[in-house]
Amino acid sequence: MNKSFKGIVIAAAIVITVAATSACFGERSSAPQTGHDDSGGQISVLGWFGIPVSRSEAVHYQTMKEAGFTHNLPGDYVTDPSRVLADLDHAQTAGIKVFIVGDALTENAADTAFVSRFTSHPALAGYKVWDEPFTYDYERLHRQVEKIRSIDPEHPCYINLLHSGSAFKGENKGVDYNAADITEVYREEYLRKFAGMLPFISFDQYPIYTGKDGQRAVSDSLWYRSLEIISGEARKLGKPFWAFALATAHSVPWCAFPIPSIQDLRLQVYSNLAYGAQCIQYFTYWTPSEEGGGFHDGPIDWYTGAKNPVYGIVQQMNREIIALSKVFLRAEVLWTAHAGRSPHALCTPLSRVKLPDAIRTLDITGSDGAVVSLLKKGEDCFLVMVNRDLHRDMTVMIKGNALKRIEKDGSTVVISGDTHTVTPGDVLIYSLNND
């Protein structure tokens, strides 16, 4: 496996219709089912290439918990079930769930004895089966998932979709198109094979890279097209989707990904949440040392297990995720639109949706554009606006009836009108009621 080839290129032509909503308080469509809520009422936060089983200690899991993580996906493959059980015990002490990986789960059929050792462990989240499969992997993976489910029907299998890219040649088997391909082969095959077997859709896309001028750039046309496609498919299936944010700098042949700033993380996380993501996955938590791609400056140092400066940035981001789970956890996306420059034809301009009656005026200026979404959760509706610009502030002028601004610490400010400055990548949220 080489996760360094998570690209920024995508080819897509799958049309998603975003319906306009005349008012926030009309009829509801059924919200996606998110399955077991084992994360204490917060949006799940997963560390991809998390604490390695080979480095598992209770203190490392406590450090992970303190950073706001709910799930660990180790980056190493372990064949000794006693070591996996010890890792689960360490995770349990910190209240972390683990997706276990191992050679017995990556063969053509899962090993019954290996899987059955873990089925009753309280810290078991599920089984990581494969990352970024090609379509010719599907038959084998389908059998593998069936086998695991026959042993343990209670815990999910994890398959992460191949990252957005034009086309790949894998293992000398010719061109293989990915989830966003114009032919829709990958997507259709995935849904046909796995939609009824996997409780969520996971995909990765890293939009922030270092441009030729040395400045941060955002491949927003490619990224938001992916979000339109994946979130639309998830709503059709009534399943949640899981998305990624990049926490570790590395390089691929066509570009370099920088050490993330809080602005970088906010842009990725809040855009994902605005589209309805129910789990934020960080790539990576533990800095890989032998994966290629020159990984460096992840939250945790590979050699020492000590915190790098990025740990604090991720921790800050996760504190905001936890505080704002009151908005995003199990929320239904009524529509998503874009103010200012539209990043792609699949993205609906804000002018084409009808704002809720509670809002009299809304003016967004100053930046390159904004993601705007309307979410419904129970009897509450939330208007979410994310500044897509990593370099300029965004100004939002809003007036309405009984508006409440939700701060990033989860507190509420009651207003009737507001002019607010949104820093690069940041979010602005208003609660709307039906009074």
pLDDT in tens, the chain (435 residues): 444 333 322 222 222 222 233 345 433 333 333 333 344 489 999 999 999 999 999 999 999 999 999 999 998 888 788 999 999 999 999 999 999 987 667 655 568 888 899 999 999 999 999 888 877 788 888 888 888 999 999 999 999 887 555 444 444 555 554 434 433 555 666 766 777 788 998 988 899 999 888 899 998 888 898 898 889 888 888 899 999 999 999 988 778 999 999 999 999 999 999 999 999 999 999 999 766 568 999 999 988 999 999 999 999 999 999 999 999 999 999 999 999 999 888 889 999 999 999 999 999 999 999 999 999 999 899 999 999 999 999 999 999 988 999 999 999 998 877 899 999 999 999 999 754
For residue 292, the tally of other CB atoms under 10 A from its CB is 13
Question: ∠ at Cα 14 (137, 168), nearest 5°?
Answer: 35
CATH entry, 44-328, from 3.20.20.80, 3.90.1200.10, 3.40.190.10, 1.10.645.10? 3.20.20.80
Look at the alpha carbons of 47, 292, 218, 353 in this order and tell me if their dihedral is positive or negative. Answer: negative
Taking each helix axis from N to C end, the angle separating 58-66 and 81-94, rounded to the nearest 10 degrees, works out to: 40
Domain residue limits, the chain: 44-328, 332-432
Residue that is written with structure tokens 């200012």 in the block: 340
> 332-432, superfamily in CATH?
Golgi alpha-mannosidase II (2.60.40.1180)
DSSP one-letter code for 121: -
The pLDDT tens digits of the residues spanning 307-343 come to 999 999 999 999 999 999 999 999 999 999 999 999 8
Confidence (pTM): 0.88
Calculate the dihedral angle through the C-alpha atoms of 61, 65, 70, 73, rounding to the nearest 10 degrees: -30
> 77-81 contacts: CB < 8 A, separation 24 or more?
77/101, 77/102, 77/103, 77/106, 78/53, 78/54, 78/102, 78/103, 79/103, 79/104, 81/113, 81/114, 81/117, 81/118
The pLDDT tens digits of the residues spanning 347-373 come to 899 999 999 999 999 999 999 999 999
Helix locations, 34-159, DSSP H: 58-66, 81-94, 103-106, 112-116, 138-151
